[in-house]
Amino acid sequence: MTTGRRVPARAQWRVLAPVVVAALAGVVLAWMLRQGVAAVAVARVLADGAGAVVIGLAALPRIDDRLTVSWRPLAAVAGVWFAAEFTVLVCEAAEIVGVSVTRLDAGDFLTFLGRLSGGQIGIAILFCTGAIACYAAMAFRRPDTASADLVLVFAAVALSLRPITGHMSQQMFGSILAAIHALATACWCGLLLAMAATLRTRGEWAVILPRFSTLAAPLVGIVALTGVINGLVRLDSITGLFTTGYGRILLAKLTILCALVALGWWWRRTWVRKAADHRVTAETSLRNATIEILAIAVAFGLAATLAVTA
């Protein structure tokens, strides 16, 4: 697919910088709503975001078999994911011990890893993310023999481990709902970000965007349904949406989701139709995708805070 003027690759990957800023803005917004947020939320949103990008880069060729996996960027993002997950572990260990991160003793950290379930889950996540980074680095040199399916399996496991062992695991079907929510969110955001980072021509957007739009609708529905159920289970009543920090963050997240649903409806009537007819430039498609990704990133920041909010 090489139809039309190509967008410079650097311009595409620069999208990641404002996305990170938007995600951190989501954490700050959560801090304002809750009046205090654990530092681990910053590492958590970076980890969740990197995991979504890995999922997206590996799954994008499944939308169209003429696309190939960008192994070098995937390896780099997986490395960031590994580092962020390690930071999450350190922060969690420090919280359990009751000290600051800078004062965490190596012995206490090793005890956390070896004896507590949170540490053991973290080790499994580090194994998955590290394996993805190493595999992608090797696949860059031998792309003809590499399989994105292995990346998808390890990434899905890494993204699911914390949700299925978190607070929702105490509820009936809670673990399943939490895992589905995490994976659907990662696929939705990750695929769109992968498109923004790799699709460089009007012709590529004309083929891929309508197919993504078809996939995005059920993904958003799954995210909304599971997110509402997961959130309301944590609240004693509807009034908790306004009277508790957790509820206010959840309400903000739902508000952004509603705005994204409305934006998606508008995109399907305008951007998607025009792009399919080759009436939208690659630059315009990149801009529109970035707008949606930034809104999702803010929601990611809120969600990461919810995940570490008692």
Task: Give the pLDDT confidence of 156-189 residue by residue, as tens digits.
Answer: 999 998 887 655 555 556 678 888 999 999 999 9
Global confidence as pTM: 0.90
Rounded distance between C-alpha atoms, residue 149 and residue 147, angstroms: 5
The domains of the chain are located at 9-305
* Cβ proximity of 61 and 45 under 8 Å: no
Question: Can you give the pLDDT at residue 185?
Answer: 94
* Cβ proximity of 96 and 116 under 8 Å: yes
Question: Can you give the pLDDT at residue 230?
Answer: 79
Give just the sign of the alpha carbon dihedral 181, 184, 186, 189: negative
* Cβ proximity of 195 and 53 under 8 Å: no
- Angle of CA points 285, 287, 291, to nearest 5°: 115
Mean per-residue pLDDT of the chain: 88
The band of 146, judged by pLDDT with boundaries at 50, 70 and 90, is: confident
Question: Can you give the pLDDT at residue 301?
Answer: 92
Average confidence (pLDDT) over 292-309: 89
* Cβ proximity of 193 and 19 under 8 Å: yes
Average confidence (pLDDT) over 95-102: 86
Question: Can you give the pLDDT at residue 13?
Answer: 74
Question: Can you give the pLDDT at residue 170?
Answer: 56
Question: Can you give the pLDDT at residue 36?
Answer: 65
> Residue 30 pLDDT more than 80?
yes
To the question of domain 9-305 being in CATH 3.40.50, the answer is: no
Percent residues over pLDDT 90 in the chain: 60
Give me the DSSP letters along 91-151. HHHHHHHTS-GGG--HHHHHHHHHHSHHHHHHHHHHHHHHHHHHHHHHHHH-GGG--HHHH
> Residue 288 pLDDT more than 70?
yes
